[in-house]
């Protein structure tokens, strides 16, 4: 403690000039200043005379009675000592530079006064203990005052001034403290008033943004750059609060803190300003999102109620005409359409929720592009025809049709885009899905899907928001065309999840074009699905007629890959002329591909003229983008031998040529799936666990249709009891999840742990409206073997039962 003793002893030694200057400064300040060790006693090292005057004890008495130990001074005031200790230790723990504390302080005469400790931790250490400097300020009188005294007390030390502010933002100074007057003079009189007014005018850029708050009497904070009477530039942090009103004008008490040398505080102020701006931007975005969601809920209410109204209404009509089979059948058909529409709305919301929660998973499985296009064409073409639209699917430079990716999500993206195109394109317009292979890398192929229409288009401003959830261009558009505002955001997210990109071009009244580019892996045996060259086919002479140049080139390239050299033309007249020229030289075409719709003469007339020239020798294949069943009779009567539906793939082209030329047909692509043999379900016995009576009735009827015997339980406890009693007779349990008494998860866990001989092996399938990814995971964790989401798809139900029973 040698350094400590020396420090304490120095108080009795003679002062040096520096010591005298320091002591004089302490006296002039007129405040208690003390120096302490941050040990367990907060030992006093040194204090000025005001410290002892503050306590009421002389320096000698203080040292004799308390031994310079504040903990002994506070021995009769444990509450205050604990407050002081907590403040010090808390500031040290949080690595602060010091602390401030307002607390009661007992003087020698036993009176308590309120004091403010303002303490700064120093970088100095004595005998291993850090040193702190404390200023004690008597704030007892401040706590007896109202807002003005409180604000002054909280803001000291600093310059203090009071202003009256009128509606024109004129700031009249009423009074200021001595420190303010010393630096800036009396702002109410003489030349000093000019300086004061100039300081205010120079800082209007900082004051004006607070105008509304000032006129309302709300607290304000900002930074000013001012000049003092000594022409010194100061940076001041202004904290001002309204303490009174006079004649409708707020009276503000302002505290000015000198931060000229506190660069860290200025940097913090800039950071706070940036954060404030960022928060304002975030607030604006949040408010916009909330408005969009409110609009979404309003639209959803309308969208959901529309099909629900149809379902309820058609049900009522069907009941009223129960004996009229035709009327009931019509009602049931419309109920089916409305139910599917309602399901689409629900799926959109669920898909968006899955994407936002990161639960959407992308599969990586082999599929065939032909299957995708055929499925989409069969779905979109009838809708386009019913609306009076032209629908085409040009294929360009396609060399790989066997791909690896997510077939389901690709279908969803293309159907979303095409459905929108159909929805927003008026009668007489056109919709196109162009599929182009743009790159072929080693075992990877890049495909570009371009969906274009001649519809109503979009404004340039809305293009920036088209992929924002819940957004629609206008309320009128939403009311006229329907939709949730989720289709495009879902589409974009699915494309991104598949590793692709999506872009859009559109102008109001000029249609819209969406472009999607996705890379797919190509299986090692991908080339094996391509048609093999056949000697019999290589000798064929082929003519292609189609008004679409890309279709001609695409078909010609596919034939070339089969070893067939072909000619092509773009009009019916050219086709007939080519056939005539070949016939006149004795080199007739073996096969003619004739487009059904051409600009000059239609396919029917072309077929008739070809037959007139060559007779039955040439095989004529009609190529059409339409449902050829409606034209089959007239085309065959005219002399057509076969039909191909656009878009034409290599395998279908190959098989058609094999068929019409008499060569054995080769199946190039395995079938995507076969119809279920439901007779295999007959004779099985299932336990259905379902508490909802209507859902139970539907499930029982669907199961009975296949010959399955069904027992049921209305809650998990009843299901457990039935299994324990006669579990050997059941082939499977279909388990609802949300049920009274015991839910499906609890029931499954109880069955698995029951000790019954079949407890571990009986298949248990969740059949529930809980359709999120976490619900599937939870079902698996509970011991279930599968998950079916409601509403139940009968085909999926039968397939799941069949596959599960076979697996067990």
Helix intervals (H) in 30-77: 49-55, 59-66, 70-73
Q: In 3-state terms, what secondary structure has residue 174?
A: strand
The full set of domain ranges for the chain reads 2-143, 147-261, 270-356, 365-526, 530-660, 678-807
Is pLDDT of 534 > 60?
Answer: no
Contact status, residue 171 vs residue 163, Cβ threshold 8 Å: yes
- Tell me the average pLDDT of the chain: 81
Is pLDDT of 594 > 50?
Answer: yes
What's residue 408's pLDDT?
Answer: 74
Contact status, residue 488 vs residue 516, Cβ threshold 8 Å: no
Q: What whole-number distance in Å separates Cα of residue 110 and Cα of residue 77?
A: 11
Residue 576 pLDDT level (bands cut at 50, 70, 90):
very high
Query: What is the arrangement of strands in the sheet containing 129-138, beginning at the earlier edge strand?
Result: 44-47, 32-37, 129-138, 112-126, 98-106
What's residue 29's pLDDT?
Answer: 67
What's residue 664's pLDDT?
Answer: 46
Q: Please check whether the domain covering 530-660 is classified as CATH 3.40.50.2300.
A: yes
Query: What is the H or E stretch that residue 675 is in?
Result: none
- pLDDT digits 0-9 by tens, 655-686: 788 877 765 433 333 333 345 577 888 899 99
Q: What whole-number distance in Å separates Cα of residue 786 and Cα of residue 764?
A: 7
- Put simply, whether the predicted model's pTM sits higher than 0.75 gets the answer no
Average pLDDT over residues 306-319: 72
What's residue 23's pLDDT?
Answer: 66
Q: What whole-number distance in Å separates Cα of residue 475 and Cα of residue 430?
A: 26
- pLDDT digits 0-9 by tens, 251-293: 998 888 887 766 555 666 677 777 777 777 777 766 666 665 6
What's residue 685's pLDDT?
Answer: 94
What's residue 668's pLDDT?
Answer: 36
CATH code at 678-807? 3.40.50.2300
Is pLDDT of 184 > 90?
Answer: no
- pLDDT digits 0-9 by tens, 495-509: 888 889 999 998 888
Cα separations in angstroms, 677 against 126, 262, 685, 759, 799? 92, 83, 17, 29, 9
Do the domains spanning 2-143 and 678-807 agree at the CATH topology level? Answer: no
Which class would CATH give 270-356? mainly alpha
Cα separations in angstroms, 194 against 228, 256, 804? 12, 19, 93
Token look-up 């599968």 returns 786
Q: What whole-number distance in Å separates Cα of residue 270 and Cα of residue 222?
A: 11
Residue 16 pLDDT level (bands cut at 50, 70, 90):
low
Q: What whole-number distance in Å separates Cα of residue 544 and Cα of residue 552?
A: 7
In this predicted model, which residue has the larger pLDDT, 480 or 462? 462
Q: What whole-number distance in Å separates Cα of residue 792 and Cα of residue 769?
A: 9
Helix axes 572-584, 603-614, angle to 10 degrees: 10
Q: Please check whether the domain covering 365-526 is classified as CATH 3.10.450.50.
A: no
Q: In 3-state terms, what secondary structure has residue 569?
A: strand
What's residue 266's pLDDT?
Answer: 61
What's residue 712's pLDDT?
Answer: 95
Q: Is the Cα torsion angle 207, 208, 210, 215 positive or negative in sign?
A: positive
What's residue 289's pLDDT?
Answer: 62
What's residue 150's pLDDT?
Answer: 47
Strand 32-37 relative to strand 129-138: parallel, antiparallel, unpaired? antiparallel
Q: What whole-number distance in Å separates Cα of residue 440 and Cα of residue 397?
A: 10
Token look-up 């950071």 returns 271
Query: Could you tell me the maximum CA-CA distance found in the chain, to the nearest angstrom?
Result: 137
* CATH number belonging to the domain at 147-261, selected among 2.40.50.100, 1.10.630.10, 3.30.450.20, 3.90.930.12: 3.30.450.20
Is pLDDT of 484 > 70?
Answer: no
**Residue 586 CB: number of other CB atoms within 10 A?**
6
Residue among 227, 177, 174, 236 at smallest CA distance from 198: 227
What's residue 483's pLDDT?
Answer: 53
Q: Which tokens sit at 359?
A: 């639960």
Which class would CATH give 2-143? alpha beta
Is pLDDT of 528 > 50?
Answer: no
Contact status, residue 131 vs residue 4, Cβ threshold 8 Å: no
Average pLDDT over residues 93-97: 92
Residue 3 pLDDT level (bands cut at 50, 70, 90):
very low
Residue 11 pLDDT level (bands cut at 50, 70, 90):
very low
Cα separations in angstroms, 428 against 444, 482, 546? 39, 21, 21
Strand 32-37 relative to strand 619-624: parallel, antiparallel, unpaired? unpaired
Q: What whole-number distance in Å separates Cα of residue 639 and Cα of residue 621?
A: 10
Q: What whole-number distance in Å separates Cα of residue 265 and Cα of residue 234?
A: 14
């Amino acid at each position: 403690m040698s350094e400590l003793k020396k420090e304490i002893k120095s108080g009795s030694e003679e002062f040096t000039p520096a010591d005298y200057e320091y002591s004089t400064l302490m006296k002039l300040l007129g405040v208690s200043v003390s120096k302490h060790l941050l040990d367990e006693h907060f030992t006093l090292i040194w204090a000025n005379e005001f410290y002892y005057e503050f306590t009421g004890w002389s320096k000698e008495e203080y040292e004799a009675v308390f031994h310079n130990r504040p903990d002994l001074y506070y021995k009769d005031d444990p509450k205050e000592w604990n407050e002081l200790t907590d403040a010090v230790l808390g500031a040290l723990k949080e690595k602060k530079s010091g602390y401030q504390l307002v607390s009661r302080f007992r003087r020698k005469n036993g009176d308590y006064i309120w004091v403010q400790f303002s303490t700064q931790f120093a970088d100095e250490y004595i005998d291993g203990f850090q040193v702190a400097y404390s200023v004690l300020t008597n704030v007892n009188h401040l706590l007896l005052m109202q807002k003005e005294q409180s604000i002054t007390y909280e803001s000291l030390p600093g310059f203090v001034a009071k202003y009256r502010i009128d509606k024109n933002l004129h700031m009249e100074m009423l009074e200021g403290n001595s420190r303010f007057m010393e630096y800036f003079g009396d702002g109410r009189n003489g030349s000093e008033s000019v300086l004061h007014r100039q300081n205010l005018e120079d800082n209007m850029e900082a004051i004006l943004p607070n105008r509304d708050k000032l006129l309302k009497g709300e607290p304000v904070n900002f930074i000013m750059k001012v000049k003092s009477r000594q022409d010194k530039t100061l940076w001041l942090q202004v904290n001002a609060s309204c303490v009174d009103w006079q004649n409708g004008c707020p009276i503000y008490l302002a505290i000015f803190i000198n931060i000229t040398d506190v660069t860290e505080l200025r940097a913090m102020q800039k950071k706070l300003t940036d954060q404030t701006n960022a928060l304002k931007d975030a607030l604006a975005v949040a408010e916009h999102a909330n408005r969009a969601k409110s609009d979404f809920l309003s639209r959803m209410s309308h969208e959901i109620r529309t099909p629900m109204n149809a379902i309820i209404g058609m049900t009522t009509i069907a009941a009223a005409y129960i004996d009229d089979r035709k009327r009931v059948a019509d009602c049931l058909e419309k109920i089916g359409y409305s139910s599917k529409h309602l399901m689409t709305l629900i799926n959109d919301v669920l898909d968006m929720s899955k994407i936002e929660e990161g639960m959407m998973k992308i599969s990586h499985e082999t599929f065939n592009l032909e299957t995708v296009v055929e499925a989409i064409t069969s779905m979109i073409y009838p809708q386009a025809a019913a609306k009076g639209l032209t629908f085409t699917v040009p294929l360009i430079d396609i060399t790989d049709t066997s791909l690896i990716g997510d077939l389901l999500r690709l279908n969803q993206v293309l159907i979303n885009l095409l459905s929108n195109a159909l929805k927003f394109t008026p009668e007489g317009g056109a919709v196109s899905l162009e599929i182009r292979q743009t790159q072929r890398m080693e075992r990877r192929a890049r495909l570009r899907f371009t969906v274009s229409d001649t519809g109503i288009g979009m404004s340039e401003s809305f293009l920036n928001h088209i992929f924002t959830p819940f957004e629609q261009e206008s309320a009128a558009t939403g009311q006229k065309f329907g939709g949730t505002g989720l289709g495009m955001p879902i589409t974009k997210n699915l494309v991104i999840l598949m590793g692709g990109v999506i872009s859009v071009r559109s102008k109001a009244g000029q249609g819209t074009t969406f472009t999607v580019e996705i890379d797919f892996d190509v299986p090692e045996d991908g080339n094996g699905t391509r048609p093999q060259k056949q000697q019999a086919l290589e000798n064929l002479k082929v003519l292609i007629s189609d008004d679409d140049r890309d279709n001609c080139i695409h078909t010609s390239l596919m034939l070339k890959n089969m070893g067939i050299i072909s000619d092509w033309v773009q009009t019916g007249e050219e086709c007939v002329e080519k056939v005539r020229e070949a016939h006149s030289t004795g080199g007739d075409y073996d096969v003619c591909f004739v487009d059904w719709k051409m600009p000059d003469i239609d396919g029917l007339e072309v077929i008739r003229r070809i037959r007139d020239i060559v007779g039955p020798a040439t095989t004529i294949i009609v190529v059409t983008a339409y449902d050829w069943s409606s034209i089959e009779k007239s085309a065959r009567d005219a002399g057509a031998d076969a039909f191909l539906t656009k878009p034409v793939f290599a395998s279908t082209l190959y098989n058609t040529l094999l068929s019409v030329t008499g060569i054995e047909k080769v199946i190039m692509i395995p079938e995507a799936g076969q119809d279920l043999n439901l007779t295999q379900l007959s004779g099985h016995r299932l336990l259905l666990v379902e508490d909802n009576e209507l859902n139970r009735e539907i499930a029982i009827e669907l199961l009975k249709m296949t010959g399955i015997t069904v027992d049921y339980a209305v809650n998990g406890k009843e299901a457990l009891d039935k299994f324990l009693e006669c579990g050997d007779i059941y082939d499977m349990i279909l388990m609802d999840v949300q049920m009274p008494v015991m839910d499906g998860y609890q029931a499954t866990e109880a069955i698995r742990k029951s000790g019954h001989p079949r407890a571990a092996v009986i298949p248990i399938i969740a059949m529930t409206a809980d359709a999120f990814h976490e619900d599937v995971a939870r079902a698996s964790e509970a011991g279930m073997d599968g998950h079916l989401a409601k509403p139940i798809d009968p085909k999926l139900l039968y397939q799941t039962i069949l596959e599960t029973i076979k697996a067990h």
